[in-house]
Amino acid sequence: MSLPLRSLTRTLTRTSRTCHTPSIATTRPILPQTLRQNVSVTSSRTTAPFSTSPMRSKARTMGQIRARNATGPFSWKSALLFVLTGAGMIVYFRVEKDRLERKRIAEMSKGVGKPKVGGPFVLKDLEGKVFTEEELKGRYSFVYFGFTHCPDICPDELDKMAEIIDKVKEANKGDNVFLPVFITCDPVRDTPEVLKNYLQEFHKDIIGLTGTYDQVKQVCKAYRVYFSTPKDVKPGDDYLVDHSIYFYLMDPDGDFVECIGRQDTPESATKTIMEHINDWKREGKPLKKD
């Protein structure tokens, strides 16, 4: 009887110890309230990632995500604007460079006190009226020297002159800013009547000018035109006349600006003339149109 009773006593003692011993796995330390708040704040700060970039709104759809990733820092509109602006600046500077070069050449053609090509003269038109260099001012004039008995060169150049007149008038939308002039180098045979009939075969806008031997010689000298017409000739005499084969482009101030030669076509000559006319207009200088 004593042994079972002793065993029962040991069993009850172990059971009571097990009930009163706290579990290590289920217990945790009790901290003060202030300390618990600091710990929670610190843990929340450490979990947030650090970033210096601005907050971006989240894309809600796949289309927004693709659009945002495709455009990048530049759009196609800004790229197109950049290209067009650059191309425009290149064209502008090229045009301005060519204009300044033409202006430089025109300034070099002027002498000290008087033009190197061109100058005062006194002639008569086909109606017998006095015509001076002042009649050329206000427009661009296109002066050619020749004679009606010229076998081939003068007719070819006058045909070209007629095409240039029409092209320049078309480019200026019909404005009469261009004055074509034909001055004879053979005043004895090229009377006003002969010259009038001759020029009408090429173009009605060509102004024919003639004068005495000395007057024609003087204007040829002013324009640096080679003049070989004999002085004391009589009507009916046969002789040769040599002269320079150039068109002289004069600006509205009466200054020489360009020479058009036989190598020029009507298209290239028109281009050159229009460049000077447009330069004049761009500078805002007056230009007669009637």
Q: pLDDT grade, residue 278 (50/70/90)? A: very high
Residue 217, burial from CB neighbour count under 10 angstroms (0-12, 13-18, 19+): middle
Q: Where are the domains of the chain?
A: 122-283
* CA–CA separation, 77 and 90 (whole Å): 20
Looking at residue 104, its pLDDT comes to 57
Q: How far is the CA of 272 from the CAs of 50, 90, 234, 266, 279, in angstroms?
A: 69, 21, 41, 10, 11
154 known member of a binding site: yes
Looking at residue 93, its pLDDT comes to 58
Q: Are 186 and 149 in contact (CB under 8 A)?
A: yes
Residues in contact with 267: Cβ distance below 8 Å, sequence separation at least 6, in sequence order: 167
- Which residue in 285, 286, 279, 281 sits closest to 97, CA to CA? 279
Q: pLDDT grade, residue 157 (50/70/90)? A: very high
Per residue in 197-247, pLDDT tens?
999 999 999 999 999 999 999 999 999 998 888 888 877 788 888 888 999
- 270 is written with which tokens? 């028109």
Q: What is the CATH number of domain 122-283?
A: 3.40.30.10
Per residue in 73-122, pLDDT tens?
566 677 777 677 777 767 665 655 565 565 555 555 555 455 578 999 99
- 1 is written with which tokens? 């009887």
- Which residue in 135, 153, 143, 99 sits closest to 281, CA to CA? 99
For residues 179 and 85, the model is more confident at 179
* CA–CA separation, 247 and 142 (whole Å): 6
Q: pLDDT grade, residue 55 (50/70/90)? A: low
Sheet with 178-184, strands from edge to edge, namely 130-132, 122-125, 207-210, 178-184, 140-146, 247-250, 256-260
For residues 71 and 138, the model is more confident at 138
For residue 117, give the 3-state DSSP assignment: coil
Helix pair angle (76-108, 266-282), 10° resolution: 100
Looking at residue 13, its pLDDT comes to 52
* CA–CA separation, 88 and 90 (whole Å): 5
Name the DSSP class of 79: H
Section 174-185 average pLDDT:
94
150 known member of a binding site: yes
243 known member of a binding site: yes
